[in-house]
Chains A and B, each alone.
Chain A
Amino acid sequence: MDDQNTDDLNSLVAQTASRLFGDHMTHALSAAAEEGAFPAGFWTAAEEAGLTLAMVPEAAGGVGLGAEGCAAIIRLAGAHAVPLPLAETMLANRLLVAGGRELGEGILTFAATSGSLSLRREGAGWRLSGVAARVPYGRNAQSLVVVGEEDGAGRLACVPLSAGTLTPGENIAREPRDDVAFDLLLEADAVTQSPFGPAEAERMGAAVRAIALAGALDTVLELTATYVGERVQFGRTLSKFQAVQQQVAILATQTAAAGGAAGLAAQALGEGLAFAPIAAAKVRAGEAAGIAAGIAHQMHGAMGFSYEHQLHFLTKRLWAWREEFGNEAVWSRRLGADVLRRGADDLWPFIAAA
């Protein structure tokens, strides 16, 4: 596809996603999702719009959107605080196709081997054992794509969630994050080679969360700018007070920084999952999230602290997503260790190449 067609398709899909999210998202739906009600109708509509196949090439039965288009969907989903495993299903399908497999059916999620979860050869087959920790939407998904490795090469399995034992959990935004214990013997051909190993799977996760953070921040900024323009105290809208203007301006700069981070993440998601841009994106978007959530709540006063207002659906996601797939401390440490190992004279070339 040439650039013009790609741009057109991207903007078409973004419009579709935006309309779909706008039509379905209500306070009641967000509140029900927190109580564990999966919005099945919304999910079906998203699937029918092709969003879950966005990252899969056309030749493999997908939509073939490219990184920018996929990032646009994920960012919009973040902006609308959509309580669906859209990014997870998109990535799981991409992993499946890259691993030479059929597209998955229905809701998919993914996990990388690490901690106690392992995927090892046993006899003529493979054993999947241990706990897949904090699996997004584990309770709702049909299949789990497990990314492991053998001698440094990626390995991929796709197992039904029903084959594991699930202990429900949730993040601070009350999105399902379930522990799933497995002890399964898999046939030899149930595990295939994958160009992506656990490190790449984690990077994919970090990239999509950085992008989603930027989306949530877009809305947090918009809500805040609107609120201070309407709320009147001392006979004026709050927006007329310079102290308020300066705070909202900081919120805008942090939102812009997260947007830049999301751009880096999107590009890396499309071009080989480079370490530095993804690390930088997760660190920067995560830091912006904390600063922005604080300012947004301050500007909203007690109203924004009430469950009735919508702000908390977004700020809670900021606090949740900045932790997932490695928080700022984790990625900073990795990035810093890499930079220090390369040494001072490689610092600029490293940055200019990121």
Chain B
Amino acid sequence: MHHFEFPPAQLPEDAQALRAEVRAFLAETIATRTPLERAQSWIGFDADFSRRMGERGWIAMTWPKAYGGHERTALHRYVVLEEMLAAGAPVAAHWIADRQSGPTLLRYGSAAQRADILPRIATGQCFFCIGMSEPGSGSDLAAARTRAEPVEGGYRVSGTKLWTTYAHEAHYMILLARTAPGERHEGLSQFLVDMKTPGITVRPIVDIAGAHHFNEVHFEDVFLPADSILGNPGDGWKQVMGELAFERSGPERFLSSFTLLKELVRVLADDPREAAQEAVGRLVAHLIVLRRLSTSVAGMLQAGQDPQLDAAVVKDLGALFEQEIPEIARRLVSGEPSLASTSSFLNVLAYTTLNAPSFSLRGGTREILRGIIARGLGLR
């Protein structure tokens, strides 16, 4: 049976100075951002903001200097991420590239791809999307049907990717496709895809809040040159699983509703009701403990361990917490949630309520995470 240890992570000595630097930067750059805008958390897209973060050296923080990185620790990066999210900074543009596509390229990209693309990610000017899900392949990623057929000089790709966040803004996609018939996990490969390649069509999908973040991406006989394959043909499954570990451990997994908590504290102010104090205190207690667990995972990543199970635990607990906040907040303050409300609390409540269902879907559903945990416990 796996024992969950979550050893304490010591933040580096200069973390305090870095934190102060980030706070000063945020106070200056996003001062006019409204609570409703801040509530978008890590799906707020602002290419200009990403470029400025790149200038400060806050993207690609842990990567080698040779690729435009800054060779800092995972915990330095953690400090920057959590400060960005707590402030509601619009980090979406570079988020996926920084978190998972860049690290995937670092491991599996060709020398030419690394030299060409990684420095552009680091400056906050090159954005990525994730091409995993399909109409018939959600939790069951191995059911992917998009085909990449070997042809003279490369591959010809046909199929449809679904729910692709910011495909309409991204320069590249990392695509999971089937290169050989084979059963399920076999025969899958990852590709680096330039989104301008002829034959790719991006169609918007509007979400329940009426917003356009994700898309359907259609590939019709798209030719990809041979060197666009990442890693070895057939290793796609293994690579994707590694990528998901990056996706599941960060502070974005429990800070998505933080702006609502902050606005709740603002409207309650010195509310004398014990029920209000108790509810807020409980949420803060959960948050302090989640942060402890999550920094511990960052520490394990820094130490070169593979904390997949621990990351699944943090993501499951984190999603519950994020989803609880609107349910608790609404009972403490009178008034009905509406995006059109002039009250910041009520419009942020509306935004967070509408987006909360996604917190336990994206990046692996609650049930899938619990299945992973159960396997770690030796139950399956």
Chain A residues in the interface with B (C-beta under 8 A): 218, 221-222, 225-226, 228-229, 239-240, 242, 244-246, 248-250, 252-253, 255-257, 259-261, 263-264, 267, 276-277, 279-281, 283-284, 287, 328-329, 331-341, 343-344, 347-348, 350-352, 354
Contact = CB atoms under 8 A, between A and B. Distances in A.
B291 A351 contact: yes
A152 B39 CA distance: 43
Interface in B358-378: 367, 369-371, 373-374, 376-378
B140 to A, nearest CB: 14
Contacts of B291: 351-352, 354
A253 B276 CA distance: 26
A252 B281 contact: no
Contacts of B289: 257, 260-261, 264, 280-281, 284
Nearest to A250: B370
Given A225-B1, A332-B285, A340-B270, A257 B378 contact: no
A350 B284 CA distance: 10
CB-based closest 3 A-B pairs:
A336-B281, A335-B281, A332-B281
A245 B370 CA distance: 8
Contact of A284 (B1, B286, B373, B380): B286
B374 A332 contact: no
Given A260-B296, A340-B269, A332 B278 contact: yes
B327 to A, nearest CB: 16
Count chain A CB atoms within 10 A of each CB in B258, B292, B370, B373 and give the residue with the most: B292
A222 B288 contact: no
Contacts of A336: 276-282, 284
Contacts of A246: 367, 370-371, 374
Interface in B230-286: 258, 261-263, 265-266, 268-271, 274, 276-282, 284-286
Interface residues on B, range: 35 or more
Interface of B: 1, 3-6, 8, 19, 82-83, 86-87, 258, 261-263, 265-266, 268-271, 274, 276-282, 284-293, 296, 310, 313, 316-317, 367, 369-371, 373-374, 376-380
- Binding site secondary structure of chain A: helix
B6 A260 contact: yes
A225 B377 contact: yes
B281 A259 contact: no
Contacts of B288: 264, 276-277, 280, 284, 351, 354
13 contacts: A245-B379, A248-B377, A260-B293, A280-B286, A281-B285, A332-B279, A333-B274, A335-B280, A335-B281, A336-B278, A341-B270, A347-B261, A348-B87
A257 B6 CA distance: 9
Contacts of A351: 86, 284, 287-288, 291
Given A248-B379, A256-B293, A336-B279, A280 B284 contact: yes
A264 B296 CA distance: 12
Contacts of A249: 316, 369-371, 373-374, 377
A18 to B, nearest CB: 13
B370 A334 contact: no
Nearest to A283: B285
Contacts of A248: 374, 377, 379
Contacts of A354: 288, 291
Nearest to B315: A253
Contacts of B371: 242, 245-246, 249
Contacts of A348: 86-87, 258, 262
B380 A331 contact: no
Nearest to B371: A245
Nearest to B374: A245
Given A339-B265, A341-B270, A351-B287, A253 B313 contact: yes
